[in-house]
Amino acid sequence: MPYLLHPSGSLSYHLRAWRRRHTLWAPFHVEVRRWLADWRPETKHLVLIGPSGGYALTAQFLERFERIGVLEPDPLARWLLRRRFPGVAFDWRESGYLVQPGGFARLAATFPDAALLFCNLLGQELQGQPADFDRAAWLAELEPALAGRLWASWHDLVSTTRAPEGHAPACLDHALPLDELLARVWRGGDLEITDHETAGLCPSAPRRYALWHLAPRRHHLIEWLNVQFPGS
Ligand SMILES: C[S@@+](CC[C@H](N)C(=O)[O-])C[C@H]1O[C@@H](n2cnc3c(N)ncnc32)[C@H](O)[C@@H]1O
């Protein structure tokens, strides 16, 4: 599939990002920027994985790092990222291996001194993803492959057409069963969801949540994980 037509890297995604940057998407981006402002990995080397056009990023955040590697297969996203942050010398890197078995271990080995930031990638349809992609098996490799590393991720947990009645919990010490979490946001009745298969990642790590009003009838529950290793 030509990459501009791919669901997670498409031209329509960039058009929506542009049209909704000051409206529907703005509250969610405020949250992501707060998470990033609080994320202080002790390294000057950052690797962004799937940042798209950097819609949730700020120059202030990127300027904290001396080197910034990027895994982003969408050429238009790379062009937009360069335009949004002309002062940043991005180091563009290959990304096709990430969805293969052993992809996270290869990522960690390729960037041994970097903090790794997954920018709403883990629950997405990915470039290079095989038809029989087993996301649960892929994600089971994440935590062991990155043990002892500084990394963080924001990712889709579920999405739905139903508007939330409650609030996403601001933060939790550890993962809650998905049903319990959903019941805080959507109160009672039928809830038809798209499960992005990321629930329960790093279950003992603290986490934060936000709602992303992606489209007039599309709501995403997003999780932020900042995995800290004492002494790392
Ligand atoms: C939902 S978008 C990310 C949203 C973005 N962070 C934002 O703030 O708007 C998912 C991104 O992952 C990228 N992507 C898809 N497959 C990838 C892969 N194998 N490696 C790295 N990035 C990938 C897509 O091109 C897309 O830009």
For residue 8, what pLDDT is reported? 55
What residues does ligand 1 touch, defined as CB less than 6 Å away? 8-9, 17, 49-52, 55-56, 71-74, 77, 95, 98-99, 119-121, 124, 126-128
For residue 38, what pLDDT is reported? 96
53's CB contacts (< 8 A; 6+ apart) are: 14, 17, 76, 77, 80, 81, 84
Q: How many domains would you assign to the chain?
A: 1
For residue 1, what pLDDT is reported? 46
Ligand 1 atom closest to the CA of 129, numbered from 1: 19
* Residue 94: inside a domain: yes
For residue 10, what pLDDT is reported? 78
Query: Ligand 1 mean position to 54 CA, how many Å?
Result: 10
* Residue 172: inside a domain: yes
For residue 169, what pLDDT is reported? 87
Nearest to 57 by CA among 79, 42, 37: 37
Category of 33 on φ-ψ map: left (φ > 0), alpha (ψ -120 to 50) or beta: alpha
**Torsion over CA: 204, 207, 213, 215 (sign):** negative
Cβ–Cβ < 8 Å for 154, 55: no
Give dist(CA 82, CA 52) in Å, integer: 11
Cβ–Cβ < 8 Å for 99, 142: no
Place of tokens 């955040």: 61
Q: Return the best residue to mutate from 46, 92, 124 for the ligand 1 pocket (most ligand atoms within 8 A of CB).
A: 124
The interaxial angle of helices 11-20 and 75-84, nearest 10 deg, is 30
Helix (H) or strand (E) holding 80: helix 75-84
Nearest to 179 by CA among 164, 162, 165, 199: 199
Give dist(CA 204, CA 11) in Å, integer: 37
56-81 burial string, b = 16+ CB within 10 Å, else e?
bbeeebbeebeebbbbbbbebbbebb
Series of mean pLDDT values for 10-residue runs along the chain (232 residues): 55 94 97 97 97 98 98 96 97 96 97 98 93 96 96 98 93 94 93 96 95 96 86 44
* Residue 41: inside a domain: yes
Ligand 1 atom closest to the CA of 52, numbered from 1: 27
* Residue 186: inside a domain: yes
**Range(s) of the domain holding residue 92:** 3-227
* Residue 65: inside a domain: yes
Q: What is the CATH number of the domain that holds 169?
A: 3.40.50
* Residue 232: inside a domain: no
Ligand 1 atom closest to the CA of 54, numbered from 1: 8
* Residue 52: inside a domain: yes
Q: In terms of DSSP bridges, do strands 207-215 and 171-172 run parallel, antiparallel, or are they unpaired?
A: antiparallel
